[in-house]
A and B are shown apart, each in its own frame.
Chain A
Amino acid sequence: MSTVLWIIFYPIIAFAIGVILLGYGRKFNARVQRRYGPPIQQVFYDILKLMSKRTNISHGWMHDTALVMLLGGTLLTLYFIPVPGFDFFSGYGDFLVVMYILLIPSLGMALGVGETANPNGSIGISRALQMLAGYDIPFALTFIGMAILAGTTNFSEIIALQQAEGIFGWGLMTNPFLGVAALIALHGMMGEKPFEVMVAPHEIATGPMTEMGGKYLGMMMIQHALNVVIELTIYINLFLGGAANWASYLVKLFVLMTLILSVNALFGRFRVDDAVRFMWKVPLVLAVIGVLIIIL
């Protein structure tokens, strides 16, 4: 029975956490720029306003189905990542599955944005995919390293292994190289500056979101909120020893988010090929060293 309750309410909880995290992010950025900044629930207001827009335009049936695929893919990924108290589905799909279903939302968005027939959107998607190729290689290598170390690819088993030895059992502690490489790659995955090549308002008119208005943009922001939670939870599960209870889980979420936001607030934006070169130089080398340590 509790799993059915979890299945119904978990997306809402994750959405709430994501919205607060994003609101906290905007407040953090404002305070770094010595501004008062919007209230924490600002992102919630934005999403509500977008969803309540009276007129919405769409560029074709694929534009609508792609948005549904975008949010549907993210909800699918949400269920497959173990969270304290709810890892029912991670018995049916390990992190290899998660790594691939993470691609469904980006493919869905890419198809929807392609359908809007706006070159700004297509340039944004081509940059996003290049950035995906950039950060996903080191990220995947750290996954593989952890899997070989733990001898299994199932999320809950990896967490159990890490929690067995307390703080020093964490992935970050046992092999720091993989931990740091994954952190940099996570930064790219979240699309935070300096790797914010996809939504470049000054260059390509907010890239993929150029032609997204009203409830379409609202759905994209809902997906973004959920995506933030998913990506942070993946990192926590693999390198910060999962979370025994919700309190430590939330603390880890906020600490990790603050770390990423502090870097985001200070950097300008890389060019696409420089960002990809950086991703294939620093985190990839770290990850290779980490993996070599594990095999030899």
Chain B
Amino acid sequence: MSEKLTQRKAWDIVLDKLTKRSLWMLHYCTGCGAIELPPTMTSRYDMERFGISAMVTPRQADILLITGYLSVKTLQRVILTYEQMQAPKYVIGFGSCTINGGMYWNSYATIKSLDQYLPVELYIAGCMPRPEAIISSFTELIDRIGRGEANSWQDYYDNYDFYKKNQEHVFGEINTYVDIKDDKVKFGI
């Protein structure tokens, strides 16, 4: 993750303290971890206490939760969805499959570590981590945003070539109609 600390004005500090309380999550449940999310949302663990609720489309989401292994085919869709999200956006790798391949470590079709292709903010270890682990990761993310350190998304804009090279190495050229380099200039990130 890039350690570049943006120089933060007073207003940004206050803003981070307030906006950390509202995070909307889009969980990309191709893997097996999605089954852990209903208990996190419902009455026993209730993640809505922290202002986190599930959203349907990438345009509205801040968190992209990759629950489980990603095959080469689904990685394309994940990257399309990630690029359609609005910055600041946070990728949370859920389960050991996203960390280093998990139980599919020797498979020819699944990707082994997610952060080669997307800037990952947080990992939740565990082969299907329990809701307590998910809630603790959310609180960790909230604290990071509060401190203004959760800026892994800038890394995608800064060294996009590294990510692009890895992506093309795995599945060749795709056209998501999103021009990251041009966005970086236009939005001044």
Report which A residues bind B (CB closer than 8 A). 26, 30, 33-39, 42, 45-46, 48-49, 52-57, 201, 205-206, 209-214, 217
Contact = CB atoms under 8 A, between A and B. Distances in A.
A45 B21 contact: yes
Q: How large is the interface on B (under 10, 10 to 19, 20 to 34, 35 or more residues)?
A: 20 to 34
Contact of A212 (B24, B60, B85, B189): B60
Given A30-B48, A55-B87, A57-B86, A217 B19 contact: no
Contact of B48 (A38, A55, A217): A38
A46 B86 contact: no
**Nearest 6 CB-CB pairs, A to B?**
A213-B59, A45-B22, A49-B19, A49-B22, A45-B21, A34-B43
A119 to B, nearest CB: 13
B15 interface: yes
Nearest to B58: A213
Contact of B57 (A45, A46, A205): A205
Contacts, number: 85
B43 A33 contact: yes
Contacts of A30: 46, 48
A54 B51 contact: no
A49 B147 CA distance: 16
Contact of A206 (B18, B56, B189): B56
A46 B60 CA distance: 11
B149 interface: no
A201 B55 CA distance: 8
Nearest to A210: B57
B175 interface: no
Nearest to B59: A213
B19 A52 contact: yes
B7 interface: no
A226 B98 CA distance: 43
Nearest to A42: B51
A210 B18 CA distance: 25
Nearest to A211: B59
A203 to B, nearest CB: 10
A143 to B, nearest CB: 35
Contacts of A45: 18-19, 21-22, 51
B16 to A, nearest CB: 9
